[in-house]
Amino acid sequence: MEDPRNIGMVCDRHAPTPGRYKDVDPKTLIGKHVKLGFPSKQGRIEHMWVLVESVEGTELRGTLANDPVLDVGFVCGDGVGFTTDEIEAIEGG
- pTM score > 0.85 for this model? no
Contact between residue 47 and residue 82 where contact means Cβ atoms under 8 Å apart: no
What pLDDT, in 10s, does the model give residues 51-65?
Answer: 999 999 889 999 999
Q: Give all strands (DSSP E) within 1-74, no chain letters.
A: 33-39, 45-56, 59-64
pLDDT confidence bin for 92, thresholds 50/70/90: confident
